[in-house]
Structures are given as C-alpha cells and as structure tokens.
C-alpha cells in the first residue's frame, strides 16, 4: 500500500501528485448516507419502530466491511422496519436529514465545471429522490421500500435492474453511466464512506473517502478527515 501523505490539515492523499485539474473529470458519483447526508436513513427509520440500536449495529458492521453479504444485511434491517408508516419516514426526512457540510458547494462546483452528478445508494428512493431534487443531481440509483396502505411491509421491491443496490451494483452503475456518457472510468470520481462504496471507488479515476471507516480511508486516493465535502476542491484546480 502506498503511504498516505498529509496534503493539508485533515486531508490526506496517496497514489498521485496533487493538484489535479477538475477538467480531467466528467462525472462524480456519490454515496448518500453519511456521505452526502448526515444520517443513515435505515437507522433513523428503525428508531420509529423502537429498533434503532439493533439496526444500527448491523449497519455499522456492514459499513466497516465486517459483514460480507451486504444484500442479506440490508434485508435483515428492512425486515425490522415492518409497520413503520410513511408519516414516520417523512419525519426523518424533514426533521433529521440534513446535507453534510460542503455538499451543495461541491456539487455546484462540479456542475459548473461541466461534470454530471450521480447518486448511487444502498439507501432508499424516498430519500434519494429528495436529495436529487435539492441538489439538482442528474441520476440516482437506490432501493425501493415496499408499502401497503402507507405502511412498510419489511420488504423491498425488485426493480428492472435487480433486487438490491449493493457494492457491486454501485460499481456497475458507475461503469454503465460512464459508458452511456462515452467517457472512461478514469474520468469519474467516486466518493463514499463505507465498505460497500469500495467497488465503485476501485474503478474510478479518483476515489474519495469522506469521514470514512478505516478500511475505506486506507484504500482511497483522497481521504477527508476534517471539514466538509467541498474540501475535495482543494485537490482539484481549474
């Protein structure tokens, strides 16, 4: 492993010589929970069911890479959400969900430089659609919770592309988006915090860890330990 060096306080780089030109990149792909936003949505939904501690423990283990079957871990967590209402999810969205510092500035800067923005999440469409609309994101990929009469069933709905957006699906989505745009993966940036982000980070030209788990920090080309998402702009020049 290449030794990480401190580029600036709270910001380390490894495997390349900074700064890079923002014009080198045409796409930036973000994880959502604990990257673009301040919460893990599944944990906060579980709070409404009185099961936050149980669900959060599974989430933490999955993000650290201690659970290798992400799909099964997500199914377990979603099953514990059975009985939660849409009203409870709206409360999470309106009262608890916040963009992380620098999110709007980073997305705005990337769009101003001509980049497209992809949000690819192991979370849920109820929240990714909101974040997409707030930030003006071009494309999203996430999971769809099953509802019956406004109440969660504890299951997810299969979508055209498959059943669950896990790490491999994140990787595939990034590669498919690059192909659709007519660019190479080297022209993409991938940004995340958990182990399920590593597959897409591994194929991108620039991988960025944001206040991430140790396993992710170790493998990322850029690691932001302090400050907001927009600290990436310190590495990218115009």
Quick: pLDDT tens for 110-159. 999 999 999 999 999 999 999 999 999 999 999 999 999 999 999 999 87
Residue 33 annotated as catalytic: yes
Closest among 189, 194, 198 to 210, alpha carbons compared: 194
Among 33, 43, 197, 230, the active-site one is 33
pLDDT above 70: percentage of residues in the chain: 98
When the pLDDT of each residue in the chain is averaged and rounded to a whole number, the result is 94
Closest among 26, 9, 27, 8 to 18, alpha carbons compared: 8
Locate 10 and state its tokens: 């709270």
Out of 3.30.1540.10, 3.40.50.1000, 3.40.640.10, 2.60.40.10, which CATH number does the structure's domain 5-38+99-237 have?
Answer: 3.40.50.1000
Question: Contact 117/174 with Cβ under 8 angstroms?
Answer: no
Q: How far is CA 77 from CA 50, 74, 116, 149, 154, in A?
A: 13, 5, 32, 21, 8
pLDDT band at 1 (very low <50, low <70, confident <90, very high): very low
pLDDT value for 2 = 54
Question: Contact 171/155 with Cβ under 8 angstroms?
Answer: no
pLDDT value for 160 = 73
Residue 163 annotated as catalytic: no
- Report pTM: 0.93
Q: How far is CA 3 from CA 15, 62, 203, 217, 218, in A?
A: 8, 26, 20, 12, 9
pLDDT value for 54 = 92
pLDDT band at 161 (very low <50, low <70, confident <90, very high): low
């Amino acid at each position: 492993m290449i030794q990480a060096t401190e580029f600036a306080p709270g910001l380390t780089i490894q495997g390349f010589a900074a700064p890079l030109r923002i014009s080198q990149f045409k796409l930036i792909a973000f994880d959502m929970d604990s990257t673009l936003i301040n919460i893990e949505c599944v944990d906060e939904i579980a709070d409404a069911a009185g099961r936050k501690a149980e669900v959060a423990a599974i989430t933490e283990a999955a993000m650290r890479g201690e659970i290798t079957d992400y799909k099964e871990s997500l199914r377990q967590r979603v099953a514990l959400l059975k009985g939660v209402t849409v009203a409870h999810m709206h409360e999470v969205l309106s009262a608890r969900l916040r963009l992380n510092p620098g999110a709007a500035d980073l997305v705005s800067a990337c769009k101003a430089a001509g980049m497209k923005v992809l949000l690819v999440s192991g979370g849920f469409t109820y929240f990714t659609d909101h974040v997409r609309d707030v930030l003006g994101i071009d494309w999203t990929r996430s999971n769809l919770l099953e509802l019956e009469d406004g109440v969660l069933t504890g299951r997810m709905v299969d979508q055209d592309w498959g059943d669950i957006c896990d790490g491999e699906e994140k990787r595939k989505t990034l590669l498919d988006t690059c192909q659709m745009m007519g660019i190479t993966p080297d022209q993409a940036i991938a940004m995340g915090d958990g182990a399920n982000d590593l597959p897409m980070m591994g194929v991108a030209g620039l991988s960025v860890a944001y206040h991430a788990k140790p396993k992710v920090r170790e493998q990322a080309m850029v690691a932001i330990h302090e400050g907001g998402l927009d600290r990436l702009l310190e590495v990218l020049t115009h």
